[in-house]
Amino acid sequence: MELKKDSHAVSIDMLLIVHPEGQADPGAQPPRRAGLQSIGNGIRKWQKLEENDLYGNLAEKQPPQHSQVITSYDNQGTQLTVEVHPQDSMPQLLKRFSLAKRLQGDKNGNTRPRQPGGKDAHAYPWDRSSLKSMSLDVRQFEKLDTYASQVTVKSGLDELVNDLLQEAHSDLERVRAIWIWICHHIEYDIKAAQEKDRQAFKLTDILRTQKTNCDGYAGLFEKMCRIAGVQCMTVPGYSKGFGYQTGQSFSGEFDHAWNAVYLEGRWHLVDSTWGSGLVDTTTSKFTFLYNEFYFLTHPALFIEDHFPDNKNWQLLKPPQSLRQFENNMYHKSEFYNKGMLSAHPATSVIRTVNGKATITMESCAPTLFMFMLNGKQEHGLLSLRKNGMKLDIYPPTMGTHKLQIFAKGNSDIYSSVLEYTLKCNYVDLGVRLPAELHQPMGPSWFSEQMGILKPSHPDPIIHTSDGRCSITFSVEEGINVLASLHGDDDLITEETQRRYIFQLHREKRTELKVQLPRAGKFALKIFVKKRQEPGNYIFVFNYLLCCSNTKVTWPMFPESFGNWGQDNELLEPLSGVLPANRNVPFKLKLHGVAKALVKGQDTWPLTLNSEGYWEGSCSTAGCQEVYVMVLENANHNFYSYILKYKVNDQ
C-alpha cells in the first residue's frame, strides 16, 4: 500500500513469509543475539539492527530517515515483516530477498550451494596446461587489484563489500576484489592458530582487529562472497602448511580451512590464508607476502598441500586417498610460481645409491638454481640445463640429511621450491669435493648470457693425468674474464689462487692454462665483468678439476701485473719458478710496446722477430727474482713491470 503523497510521505512494503507450524525455513540464517526481542502476544517492537543483520553485517546505527522494520508472528507460525523506508528508495528487504533467490540452490528455496559433481572435476595428474582452474590472465586484474587493495573498512561488512564491488562487473571480478582485499588486509593470528579449541572468530572481531586464523579467513571470504551474490563454501581439511614435516601422517582434527567458489558454472578453489603471506619458521612471525598461486588454483596442484574432509571437494578425477596425499611429493607454491614443471625423484624421501643421490628438475624456461644440504652449499654438483637442472649430491656422513633446492625464476631472489629427506647408509670416501665448489657447475645457457661462448670443455668435470689442462672459449667484446683455483689445503692460499692459472688471448679466443700443485680435486672458478662498468667481477660457473697422479707438483705461473695486457701472450717460460744459474729463454707477444727487457742480476734486452714475438735469454746466476719490463713509449725512459719470476735457491 502507499500513503498519501506529501512532503512527509513514506512507502510501506510488506513481505509475507509463511511457515507451517513446527518447521523453519531451511535457508534462514540463525537468529542473532541482539536481533528483534519478543515482548508478548507474538508482537515485536520497533528495533534497529544493532549487531549483525540477515547476512552477518556489522551493526550500523541508522539515522531516522533510513529504513525501519517491524516483525510479528501469530500463533499459527505466520511471520509478518513490515519495512518503512524513504519514498523512491529500494526496500532493503527486497534487496535481501533478491539476493537469497540468487543464492538458492533448489526450487524449495534452500540457500546452501550445490555439492560438486562430475563437471567440476579436473583430470589428475596435472596436465601442465595452466596453474589456474580456468583460462585466466591475471594482468586483466591490475586496475581492479590496485583499487581493491586500497579500500578501507568504514563501518560494516555490507558497506565494505559494496565499496569493493564498485569496480567489479562480473562474478569473477567480485571474487577477485574480495580475495585481494582479504589478502592485503587480514593478518594471520599465530597465537589463535595455536589454540587447541580452534575458536571461531566473529566477523566483527576480524574487521576490528584485522587478524584471524584460517577458519576466520575462510569464514570471512564466504560471507563476503555471499553478500556479493556469489556462491561460496568453506572447506575444512588437512594441509601441508606451517609446521609440516616431510613424510608426516595426518589424523584426528582437521588443521586448516579454505574455500570453494562457484564461477562460470563450475567450482573453483581458493585459499586466502596462504594467499596473504607466510609465517617465519624461526621467529613464528607473520609477514604479508601476496601469493597469487592460491587464487583459483588448478585442483591437481591444490591437492599437493590441501586434503579436504570430503573427497568431492578435491575436484579431481580420480580423487586421491589420504595415504597418497601423505606420500606424494610436496611441491611448494614457489615451485610453480618459479616456473617449475616436474622433479625427479617424485618422492620426498630418497635413499642414496653407493653414497650418491641424483635429482633432476624441469622448468618451463631457463632459470638459476642453488641447493643447501643441511644448511650449507656443499657436497653437491649442480649443473644447469636449458630448461631445468641436474644435481648429484654426496652426503658426507651416514644418516638422515635435509636437502633444499632453490630457484630464481624471473625475480632477483632465490626461493625454496623443493625439500627432500636423504637417507644415506654408505659414504664414498673417494668423493671429496672442495668447499669452494660453488654452483652452477660447468658452462651453460647462463655463461653464454654472461658472454662466454663455445667452451672447449662443455662438461663440468675435467680429468687430467699430468695435472695440467688448457681450457678455451670465446668472449664477447667488452668482457673481461678472471679465474681462480681453489683446493682444500694450504698449498693454495688467497694470495696464490690465480697464480696456478695463466690467461692468454689468441684470435678472439681466451685460453686458461692450469697447472695443479698436487693430486686431488680443485674448483676452477670463472668470473666476468664488463670493462666499461664499475663494480666487482661476477661469478658465472666453475669446473671441477680432478687429478689422481700423486707425482704431480706443478709450480705457480709467473706473477703478472696491471700492465700485462689482455692480448699479450707468453710462450716461455711458463713456470713462475726458474732454475738457478741457468740461461733461460724468453718468448712473448706484447702489444703496443716500444722496448722489452729481462732484469735479473743484470739486464738483457729482448728483440722483436719477424713473427711479432719478443725473444731473448736471461741468466739467473746471482739473483732471487727476475722481471720482464717494457717501455710503452719510445720517447720515455720509464719501464713498467709486467711479469715476475722467482729463482730457486742455490
* Residues identified as active-site: 214, 256, 271
Q: Looking up cell 673417494, which residue turns up? A: 430
Give SS3 for 228.
coil
Q: Kindly report the three-state secondary structure assignment for every residue of 271-313.
A: CHHHHHEEECCCCCCEEECCCHHHEEECHHHHCCCEEECCHHH
Distance, in Å, from the CA atom of 566 to the CA atom of 591, rounded to the nearest integer, reads: 9
Report the chain's terminal Cα–Cα distance, integer Å.
Answer: 123
Chain centroid to CA 37: how far?
Answer: 54
Q: Are 251 and 238 in contact (CB under 8 A)?
A: no
Q: Which three cell numbers stand for residue 258?
A: 579454505
Q: Are 170 and 263 in contact (CB under 8 A)?
A: no
Q: Are 288 and 277 in contact (CB under 8 A)?
A: yes
Q: Are 192 and 209 in contact (CB under 8 A)?
A: no
Distance, in Å, from the CA atom of 405 to the CA atom of 440, rounded to the nearest integer, reads: 13
- Name residues whose C-beta falls within 8 Å of residue 406's C-beta, 6 or more positions apart in sequence: 369, 370, 371, 372, 414, 415, 416, 417
Q: Which three cell numbers stand for residue 204?
A: 566483527
Distance, in Å, from the CA atom of 483 to the CA atom of 526, rounded to the nearest integer, reads: 5
Picking from 489, 330, 305, 333, the residue whose alpha carbon sits closest to that of residue 419 is: 330
Q: Which three cell numbers stand for residue 36?
A: 528483534
User: 573: cis peptide before it, omega within 30°?
Assistant: yes
Distance, in Å, from the CA atom of 112 to the CA atom of 25, rounded to the nearest integer, reads: 12
Greatest CA separation for the chain: 128
Indicate the residue type of 105. Answer: G
Picking from 55, 57, 56, 36, the residue whose alpha carbon sits closest to that of residue 46 is: 36
Q: How far is CA 65 from CA 47, 122, 462, in A?
A: 14, 52, 87
Distance, in Å, from the CA atom of 440 to the CA atom of 462, rounded to the nearest integer, reads: 15
Q: Are 18 and 80 in contact (CB under 8 A)?
A: no
Helices (H), 169-234: 171-185, 190-193, 203-209, 214-227
Q: Are 337 and 409 in contact (CB under 8 A)?
A: yes
